[in-house]
Amino acid sequence: DGGITQSPKYLFRKEGQNVTLSCEQNLNHDAMYWYRQDPGQGLRLIYYSQIVNDFQKGDIAEGYSVSREKKESFPLTVTSAQKNPTAFYLCASSIGQGANTGELFFGEGSRLTVL
């Protein structure tokens, strides 16, 4: 089945620790995205990547880092510099070009709790 796989589903970390969230897609999509979902805040864009080895900051990139070494993978690292890391993180992908830009396919999400 084609889709987006995020892992882990739940993650706990202590303050001061970095943590990496995995996102893999087998849809052959060019574009991948990371959003953060908080109650009442909607989805806020952290980083996005339109092509391998290239990515752009979204609206709330501070305290996060990403890499895009392979088309199918777009891991997100939540660093200790992120002041409020406890949140629900969503990864998504899109064909990423032409008229279909914007139709996103989402993973199940990863819930990070900082203790």
Partner 1 sequence: AQSVSQHNHHVILSEAASLELGCNYSYGGTVNLFWYVQYPGQHLQLLLKYFSGDPLVKGIKGFEAEFIKSKFSFNLRKPSVQWSDTAEYFCAVTGHAAKIIFGKGTRLHILP
Binding site residues, partner 1, CB under 8 A: 31, 33, 35, 40-45, 48, 50, 56, 58-59, 90, 92, 94, 96-97, 99-104, 106-108
Q: Evaluate whether 107 touches 35 at the Cβ level (below 8 Å).
A: no
Whether the bond between 8 and the residue before it is cis, its omega within 30 degrees of 0, is yes
Percentages helix, strand, coil for the chain, rounded to the nearest 5? 5, 50, 45
Nearer to partner 1, 59 or 62 (CB): 59
Closest CB to partner 1 among 92 and 114?
A: 92
Query: Closest distance between partner 1 and the C-beta of residue 103, in Å?
Result: 6
> 107 vs 114, which CB is nearer to partner 1?
107
**Minimum distance from residue 80 beta carbon to partner 1 (Å):** 27
CB of 106 to partner 1, least distance (A): 4
The residue among 7, 39, 1, 32 whose CA lies nearest residue 21 is 7
Interatomic CA distance for residues 60 and 73, integer angstroms? 21
Tokens of 91: 């990864």
Query: Whose Cβ is closer to partner 1: residue 38's or residue 113's?
Result: 38
- Smallest distance, partner 1 to C-beta of residue 10, A: 14
